[in-house]
Homo-oligomer: A and B are copies of this chain.
């Protein structure tokens, strides 16, 4: 089941650089593990911003919540979630 998730990062300008670097490294590892498992299907940067657009493939809403609230950057992000489904004009049954 697919979800469309937009995330915008707002790190406080006075966060020490080391701390920021550590959070970002943990976030990257967390994200890449989920990408390799196929749960985080797509991950794009919105050009000219500190935002991404992501497609998640999860079993249900609970799994989505576990994954998103587990993001190391979760406390510093504005997040918008929208459920996706097959579009009647799509030529693919599973447009993941």
* A positions within 8 Å CB-CB of B: 1-5, 11-15, 27-28, 31-32, 35-36, 42-50, 52-53, 60-62, 64-65, 68-69, 74-76, 79, 81-92, 95
Contacts and interface: CB of A to CB of B under 8 A. Distances in A.
Interface centre among A35, A53, A87 (most CB of B within 10 A): A87
Interface SS, A side: mixed
A40 to B, nearest CB: 9
Assembly stoichiometry (copies): 10
Nearest to A12: B13
B95 A48 contact: no
A31 to B, nearest CB: 5
Contact of A44 (B31, B45, B84, B91): B84
